[in-house]
Amino acid sequence: MRRALAVVTAAVVLSSIGTATAAAGPRTAPVLRAPAGGFEELAVPSSMGPVRVQVQWAARGGSSALYLLDGLRAPADHSQWTTDTDVLRRFAGDDVTLVFPVGGHSSFYTDWYRPSSTNRQATTYKWETFLTRELPDFLAGYGVSRTNNGIVGVSMGGNAALTLAAHHRDQFRFAGAFSGFLNPTYPMWNQAMRAAMLDEGGFNIDDMWGAAGDPAWSRNDATVQVERLRGLPIYVTAGNGVPGPLDVSNGVGNTINAAGIEAFALIAASVFRERATALGVPARVDFGAGTHTWPYWQQSITTARPLILDALGAH
């Protein structure tokens, strides 16, 4: 995504920057109970086929859960949250199950209209259905609540975290977006996303939400949907694109791209804050130094941790 957005940055600036299976019925088998603490990988059935999900069980067997979503380059074999941050260690003593869906490369964690027509995708992405019906139904078999969940995401997953929470208030009690693209209906954003998705896996954005102006775009725009978030604890962060000490190991080329992308995320977070303020929807929005990289998102989840635990009653 960094490479693609770097390519379209100049054009955008000049252009004026200025749901799948039915709910599970009564169980006929005994309900399994999750262990108190520990890490495990699950294979969860879905309309997309089996989906790998990594979990760290609540320290004392509690029922609350926090879903953590990856960015555009989401790997097929693990969640980057588990390898690129210290979130497993940081939440190890907390009574909340961490849920890391694996995959979703260039998906925006949404239900697509059809398989991508430009890369021979075999199945249609149905991530909203998975995250709000199939996965919580499966985890309920381990004693995880369907209704006392939080959700956070980075970059691509940031907008998804807020929009999923907006449309599924019965499931989520906290939502957070770190360097998220929170206003995809903003002029030229669809073209930036198109370029990024083609670069990252050859995906066709028209097969996701249709052409610009299709109602799916507004439905999946966190800024447009902010009224639906009223009363929900929200935490949004973005950096200013200025590299800092955490960028030292990222390499000069990567740092330049990450700086440019984060400048877009800053604009999106600012627009989100302005709309939330205008509507009187409380939301904590923090701006700081930094680029579009995992070390800064580790800082964000560290700050968000007490807010999440309060919202879920998971101390």
> Choosing from 107, 116, 168, 292, which is the catalytic residue?
292
> Choosing from 128, 134, 200, 262, which is the catalytic residue?
262
Query: Nearest CA to 236 among 298, 296, 283, 186?
Result: 283
Catalytic annotation present for 292: yes
The single residue listed with the structure tokens 């206003």 is 183
For residue 257, give both structure tokens: 């791209």
State the Cα angle at 124 between 159 and 111, rounded to 5°. 30
For residue 182, give both structure tokens: 């929170």
10 Å CB burial of residue 280 (0-12, 13-18, 19+) is exposed
Judged by DSSP in three states, 194 sits in helix
> Choosing from 155, 168, 179, 200, which is the catalytic residue?
155
Judged by DSSP in three states, 57 sits in coil
| Strand ranges of the sheet holding 149-154, from the earlier edge strand across to the other edge | 39-44, 51-56, 97-101, 65-69, 149-154, 172-178, 234-239, 284-288
Other Cβ atoms less than 10 A from the Cβ of 53: the count is 22
Residue by residue, DSSP assigns 89-135 as HHTTTSSSEEEEE---TT-TTSB-SS--TTTT-SS--BHHHIIIIIH
Instruction: Cite the active site residues.
Output: 155, 262, 292
